[in-house]
Structure 1
Amino acid sequence: MKRYFAVLLGILTAIGGFVDIGDLVTNAQVGARLGMSLVWVVVLGVVGICVFAEMSGRIAAVSHRATFDLVRERLGPGMGLLNLVGSMLVTMLTFIAEIGGVALALQLVSSLHHLLIVPFVAVAVWIVLWRAKFSAIENVLGLMGLALIAFAVALWQLGPDWGELVSGLSPAEKPGAESWATYAFFGVALFGAAMTPYEVFFFSSGGVEERWTSKDLGVMRANVFIGFPLGGLLSVAIAGCAATLFLPQGIAVETLGQVGLPVAVALGKVGLAVVVLGFFAATFGAACETGLSTGYSLAQYFGFPWGKFVRPKEAAGFHIILLVTTVIAAGVLLTGVDPIMVTEISVVFSAVALPLTYFPILVVANDPDYLGEHVNGRLANALGVFYLVVLTVAALAAIPLMVVTSMGQG
């Protein structure tokens, strides 16, 4: 019974934890601009994150070692450093966006400007990273994130023309006023939002922290292959709500309040309160995960003690990294930069950094010296190589599309 409970808890946590500020903003923007015509990218991204999360989780469970530790050893310091720099830049951008997202969520229920809230959010995130148990960060905030199911309920209550909504799933149903360059830009952004690198770092490092073994592979795979796709359905619901309410009016989504507006229209004040709770849980949980990922990455590469199960005195470097990155994130936000703009930039650069993140995982997952009989099979390798090609194409296209479309404005 305990094992079944662990599976259920993990699935629910994966559902609630799948959506972060990048998914919230990007899916709503896409729904408002392009309707449901990019849902196929969400599906592509969900399958992709499942493939690579399963590989990284299997590596952690079998080798009992973390990602950057193995990457440096297997591919050498040079490749490891390139991987570290690329992933750290994206993770820091995401960390800044998530802290800003928490502040924006709290702004919705207060009369305070989000800049006044940022310092308190940063302190709260740091305290949780310093003192809270790993399971509390992962499970409590993930379960609270299930409040975002309100988007699915709201979509039903808005009563869209379901036939029209389903027909809009075709890429050919892109609104005629939008260019194909804009369509491609938002496709890359949506793909980057679904496959942010920190998710893999946090997932595999968490496996090492919780001392997964090969006996835990079944539970891990259930969490990945059931939880993430169900979380992806929340992303589709967010896009569907925006497509139903905003697309016919030609209204673009520019604020977090607009992301939640369809829920308020459909479900009233109670629904809005529930979805704001979901906003807070999703962004605060993701802020904790990205913050931990910065510490995991640097500590693992340089080889000093790390993790929530190591006493702070014994992992001083790890905790100093968490403190410094939190101060930097808050400092950037206090310059007045728009958290939504940071979010938009972070999902694009997430797509740019993805090949650097996932290629080493694919290499290690095929190495019998680390995984023995648990190396990739034919299906895992076929999917891994396919996604490496897709990730490379998205990475090469991301910045040119960002320039050509002026971040989707053109």
Structure 2
Amino acid sequence: MNRLTSFTLGFLTAIGGFLDIGDIVANSLVGARFGMSLAWVIPVGVIGVCLFSEMAGRVTAVSGRPVFDLVRERLGARAGLANLLASSAITLLVFAAEIGGVALALELASSVHYLLWVPVVGFLVWAVIWRLPFERMERTYGLLGLAMVVFAVALWRLGPDWGALWHDALSPAPPSGEDWPTWWYYAIAVFGAAMSPYAVVFFSSGGVEERWSARDLTLQRLNVFFGFPLGGLLALSLMAGAAVLLHPAGIQVDHLSQATLPVVVSLGKVGLVIAIVGFFACTFGAALEAGLATGYGVAQYFGWSWGKSVRPVQAARFHTLLLATVLAGTAIVLTTLDPVKVTEYAIVLSAAALPLTYLPIFIVANDRGYLGDRVNSRFTNIVATVYLFLVLLVAAATLPLMLWTKAGQ
């Protein structure tokens, strides 16, 4: 039974990594603005995150330690600190945006302004992190997040011209009226969202929470190679629904409610209710991921006792840090910064920081001192090298494109 329920770790990681508040709006925005011309970015991102998550999960399963614990040991304190500072700052922004995203989902359900929900959401996130066992947490929000399948059903009910969608998806170029720099800027945003560093930190640390060992390698690979592609397919459904319904009408997406339009038009109120449940589960699950990832990273770097399975009195610094993270994230949202914009900036900035996360994983996954004969295969290393070159290219292009396009304006 433990093997069966731990399979939901991949669901929770993928749902949070691919369908947080920024992804929901960004994929809908891209579909509405660019049609399916950027659809190719999602499978490229899925392959990349599967590749490096499998490495991180394998390192955890074989060594019994999270990959970023080994990064500091293998690469030294300075390299580990650079990774920690970059990932923690970006993950805190994402965490704040997810709290705002949950509040926006509750506003959609209740018509009560989202800022009034923010303190409630912050308390609920802290309560779940503090009290709910890890496996129950992943099972609940990972499976509830599957309500986002409603967007795939809505796409089918809209009856699109599938041939035209395929043609657009296989025509990677900006549509009429859009320029190349802006198109590439949004390509980087979608790619950065797909390869979110915090999702890999959470997945690796979650393996330790579930006590993976070398005999669980098949399980962790199933988590990766089923959960992440499923998240990618749901993200494509969001983009395609917007491309079918909103792009021809010239409707732009800048709010969560507009992302539900394909569902409302094709499935009515029942579909809307299911979509709101999906939004809540995804954003709440992503908030849990991002909050825990921040605590995991800092605790692992400094060698503190950590984990939801460890009694709070034995991991006091870890739980104090989690509480401080919740308070900081809640405070950021209460400044009235737009949660959607915060997440969009966070995912673009995370693209700039991708090498700091994925290069260390690659190095550790090739270290026989930790993995013995379970190190990367030659094929894995070839594909990973291509992706490392790609993330370096993305990192170099991110800030110039952000400035050139005024963040996609």
TM-score (norm 2): 0.97
Distance 1:173 1:389, change over 3 A: closer
CA–CA separation in structure 2 for the residues paired with 1:372 and 1:133: 32
The residue number in structure 1 matching 2:360 is: 360
The aligned amino acid for 2:361 is I
Superposition pairs for residues 262-273 of structure 1, below 5 Å?
262-273=262-273
Corresponding position: 1:249 with 2:249: yes
Deviations 1:255-309 (A, max 9, x none): 0001111101110000000000000000000100110001000000001100001
* Contact 2:15/2:286 (8 A) holds in 1: no
The residue number in structure 2 matching 1:335 is: 335
The residue number in structure 2 matching 1:166 is: 166
The aligned amino acid for 1:221 is R
Distance 1:330 1:15, change over 3 A: closer
CA–CA separation in structure 2 for the residues paired with 1:280 and 1:308: 22
CA–CA separation in structure 2 for the residues paired with 1:124 and 1:366: 40
SS at match of 1:264: helix
The residue number in structure 2 matching 1:283 is: 283
The aligned amino acid for 2:109 is V
* Contact 1:185/1:398 (8 A) holds in 2: yes
Structure 1, 26-35 or 11-20: larger mean CA deviation: 11-20
Segments of structure 2 that go 5 or more residues without pairing to the other structure are: none
SS at match of 2:212: coil
The residue number in structure 1 matching 2:347 is: 347
Deviation of the 1:173 alpha carbon? 5.0
The residue number in structure 2 matching 1:190 is: 190
Deviations 1:30-61 (A, max 9, x none): 10111111111100000001001000000000
SS at match of 2:215: helix
* Contact 2:13/2:289 (8 A) holds in 1: no
CA–CA separation in structure 2 for the residues paired with 1:5 and 1:72: 32
Corresponding position: 1:202 with 2:202: yes
Distance 1:305 1:8, change over 3 A: closer
CA–CA separation in structure 1 for the residues paired with 2:8 and 2:87: 29
CA–CA separation in structure 1 for the residues paired with 2:184 and 2:399: 12
* Contact 2:299/2:306 (8 A) holds in 1: yes
Deviation of the 1:159 alpha carbon? 1.4
Segments of structure 1 that go 5 or more residues without pairing to the other structure are: none
The residue number in structure 1 matching 2:29 is: 29
Superposition pairs for residues 18-167 of structure 1, below 5 Å?
18-167=18-167
SS at match of 2:111: coil
Distance 1:46 1:325, change over 3 A: same
* Contact 1:23/1:193 (8 A) holds in 2: yes
Deviation of the 1:231 alpha carbon? 1.6
Deviation of the 1:172 alpha carbon? 4.1
Distance 1:22 1:42, change over 3 A: same
CA–CA separation in structure 2 for the residues paired with 1:188 and 1:402: 10
CA–CA separation in structure 2 for the residues paired with 1:337 and 1:13: 27
The aligned amino acid for 1:142 is G
CA–CA separation in structure 2 for the residues paired with 1:114 and 1:334: 10
Deviations 1:331-355 (A, max 9, x none): 1111110111101101101101111
SS at match of 2:227: helix
Deviation of the 1:63 alpha carbon? 0.7
* Contact 1:100/1:118 (8 A) holds in 2: yes
Superposition pairs for residues 300-315 of structure 1, below 5 Å?
300-315=300-315
Deviation of the 1:3 alpha carbon? 7.5
The residue number in structure 1 matching 2:224 is: 224
How many residue pairs get aligned? The number is 408
Deviations 1:117-161 (A, max 9, x none): 100000000011111110122111010000000000000111122
Deviation of the 1:8 alpha carbon? 5.9
The aligned amino acid for 1:204 is S
Distance 1:124 1:13, change over 3 A: closer
Deviations 1:168-221 (A, max 9, x none): 012345311110111100000000110111110000001111110110000111
Deviations 1:231-276 (A, max 9, x none): 2110110000111111111111000001111101110000000000
Deviation of the 1:15 alpha carbon? 5.7
Distance 1:268 1:26, change over 3 A: same
Deviation of the 1:69 alpha carbon? 1.6
* Contact 2:304/2:317 (8 A) holds in 1: yes
* Contact 2:8/2:142 (8 A) holds in 1: no
Deviation of the 1:4 alpha carbon? 7.3
* Contact 1:26/1:193 (8 A) holds in 2: no
Distance 1:9 1:76, change over 3 A: closer
SS at match of 2:177: coil
CA–CA separation in structure 1 for the residues paired with 2:175 and 2:65: 48
The aligned amino acid for 1:393 is L
Query: Deviating runs (4+, > 3 A) in structure 1?
Result: 2-18
SS at match of 2:76: helix
* Contact 2:305/2:314 (8 A) holds in 1: yes
The aligned amino acid for 1:19 is L
Structure 1, 272-281 or 224-233: larger mean CA deviation: 224-233
Deviation of the 1:392 alpha carbon? 0.8
SS at match of 1:92: helix
CA–CA separation in structure 1 for the residues paired with 2:277 and 2:256: 13
SS at match of 1:227: helix
* Contact 1:7/1:222 (8 A) holds in 2: no
CA–CA separation in structure 1 for the residues paired with 2:178 and 2:351: 22
The residue number in structure 1 matching 2:4 is: 5
* Contact 2:6/2:210 (8 A) holds in 1: no
Q: Over the residues paired in the alignment, what is the CA RMSD in angstroms? A: 1.4
* Contact 2:38/2:169 (8 A) holds in 1: yes
Deviations 1:55-112 (A, max 9, x none): 0000000111122321111000000000100111111111011111000000001121
CA–CA separation in structure 2 for the residues paired with 1:187 and 1:92: 23
Corresponding position: 1:261 with 2:258: no
